[in-house]
Chains A and B, each alone.
Chain A
Amino acid sequence: MRTVICLVLLLCAAGFAGPVAAQVTVSGGLSGQIRTFPERPTRAEQDVRAAQPTFTGEAKLEAQGPRKRFMVTFNPYVRYDAVDGQRSVFDLHELKVSAGGQHWHVKAGYDVEFWGVMEVVNPVNVLNQTDVTEDFLTKRKLGQLMVDYTLLGNFGTVDFYALGGFQPMRFPTATARLSPAVPIHQDDVMYGSGRGRSQLEGAVRYFRNVRNVYVGVSQFYGYARDPEMLVAFDSQSMPFVAARYDLEHQTGVEVQVTLGNVILKSEDVFRADAHGRRSHALSAGSEYDLGSVLQSGRTISLFAEYYFDSRSQSLVIPFRNDVFAGTRVSLNDRRSSEVRVWGNYDLSARKVTAIMVDASARLSERLKAVVTYRGIMARQDALASIARDSHFVFKLEAFF
């Protein structure tokens, strides 16, 4: 880790030592939000306050040389939760230097890399740790220390990654809403490697677009981002859960075919951990754009996806054998108003267990309002411990 940080600082110094002045831009945003839970919690020890205020701040500083051939990016993110201290987070989302030419690109430092094509669950997206306290079934990722060397050409794009400074997952406190029934000890973390967080990880990914067909293949070796949860007992013989991160190989395949207003896509992963255990996850589905059919000037997308995971548990994705369906409507108006509604159907339990609504609109050049609803209807499965934690979030975002 120290080596990478030294490399970052050296590259910074080298990039700006020349006579060419860098172009510097600063931007960012602040938000205030209230989470409200209409129902009383499942467990007596949980917080009964109906409203949970949260504040976030984010800044982005970019300094770039001529034609973006050299760039330094600093993009920290902070979240303060007035009720659940473990939901407060400081994330070094981006702190990187990057340089490149026509056929290559290199970056070193903290960054977020998104892999995948699906709308709901992206099993191939494995490099960054998930910020699970941010939202139910969140897509938000934490910055990951990495060096990424990219080769570009007619053959496609190949990325080689070296990763370090693993970040274990953060969980809500035991008394907070949306927390598991058995308390998770944040500091009792076990690693499959004696190097612990210092374990070096690696990945390679190839992807290519040929007209309307996109194919991506990836190979990752490192800690599973989604830990195995082990039950243990404390000195008073009270049970708690500790997270264990084993080293694993993950092979991922992503495919997307765009046929006019229909998009077909899938993500497949095959995992093998250090204990010889193998697992498989598949997500496949389609997206249909109604906008051109209705000629309304609006973007109206329908999507349906199937997800299967052979593992028995996951903290990131509380679904095993589910169909998701939903719609996303963008009015394409001056306020960029849009709403997304979707839900799942659990094929094993044969019932709908979650419904999600996200709506947003710009209030002014600098203000945006966001309203979300997370309806959780499961009572006896992976979602049982949060069965009464359906909630609304009212958020106001200001940008500078």
Chain B
Amino acid sequence: MTSITALVIGQVLTPGAGSGAGGADQGRQIFAEVSRRNGGYGDQRAGVSMQLKRKSGAATTRTMDIATLEVANDGTRSIVSFDSPLDVKGTKVLTYSHGEQDDEQWIYLPAFKRVKQIADASKTTSFMGSEFTYEDLNSLNIQLDKFSYRYVKTEDVNGAACFVVERVPLYPRSGYNRQVVWIDTVKYVVLKVEYYDRKDALQKTLSLSGYRQYASALWRADEMLMTNHQSGDETKLRWTGYTFKSGLAVNDFSASALKR
């Protein structure tokens, strides 16, 4: 691990690294290291409280449970199970997040006991009326092949030295032209993401804080704040009760498992 870290840091701190193929290689290497350090968890589960706050100050809260499974050479699978608001309690969304290829997504509607596969195009829609889209949530799990990368510079965020890497979505129908990501140079965790819309205007900023280490290796943020600069609204996710390697398997993330 040390040698890889030293290699990455040595490369990215080379003057002029932000331009050309070198910048791309270094940007990807930084994300590879983020993935290496914070992946390998097998499966994880956490409770999430999502507070939606309007520019006017009005706020509402949603709660859910998110389970994620790493699949060898094929990205991740995740299930979001809603607890509130109560009219959607029991609704579940299953996502197979692949690399460059289209993701697959199913929704379970408890009123009809129906599992329905939905178009991948829905990734750009708002997640439960929040400032997060399904695309934003999926990209929290690092999948290298989904983006091209360019190392830009190093810069401090709240006193922490960060690599600044620009990434451009390679998958179809993204809602973004590009994203700029700040990565802690010591912990290799994401501290900030700026999302630029298809017209390349700054649309949203995600700030991650309250990082804690689990299972002696995995860093996870307790809080994620997404601010929409165009509407003035914001959404805060609070993650609690992380558990890892609880024995979840591929069949727990199947369309038929959603009904259980």
Contact = CB atoms under 8 A, between A and B. Distances in A.
Contacts of B104: 209, 211-212, 258
A340 B90 CA distance: 22
Contacts of A103: 251
Contact of B124 (A260, A291, A399): A291
Given A152-B254, A262-B119, A100 B260 contact: yes
A313 B199 CA distance: 55
A365 B125 contact: no
A323 B122 CA distance: 26
Nearest to A368: B87
Interface in A313-327: none
A114 interface: yes
Given A114-B114, A263-B117, A365 B60 contact: yes
A152 B129 contact: no
B212 interface: no
A31 to B, nearest CB: 11
B121 interface: yes
Interface in A92-106: 98, 100, 102-103, 105
A105 B117 contact: no
- Chain A, interface size category, equals 35 or more
B7 to A, nearest CB: 36
Interface in A200-216: 207, 209, 211-212, 214
Contacts of A207: 256
Nearest to B88: A336
Nearest to B106: A209
Nearest to A27: B89
Interface residues of B, number: 46
A400 to B, nearest CB: 7
A100 B249 CA distance: 13
A292 B105 CA distance: 15
B2 interface: no
A157 B257 CA distance: 10
Interface of A: 27, 29, 60, 67-68, 71, 98, 100, 102-103, 105, 111-114, 117, 139-141, 150, 152-153, 157, 207, 209, 211-212, 214, 256, 258, 260-263, 287, 289, 291-293, 295, 297-299, 301, 330, 332-336, 362, 365-366, 368, 397, 399-400
Interface of B: 52, 60, 84-90, 101-102, 104, 112-129, 133, 172-173, 175, 197-198, 246-247, 249, 251-252, 254-257, 260
24 contacts: A29-B86, A98-B260, A102-B251, A102-B252, A105-B256, A152-B254, A153-B251, A211-B104, A258-B117, A258-B120, A260-B121, A261-B173, A262-B119, A263-B118, A297-B124, A298-B125, A299-B122, A332-B127, A334-B129, A336-B85, A336-B128, A336-B129, A365-B85, A368-B87
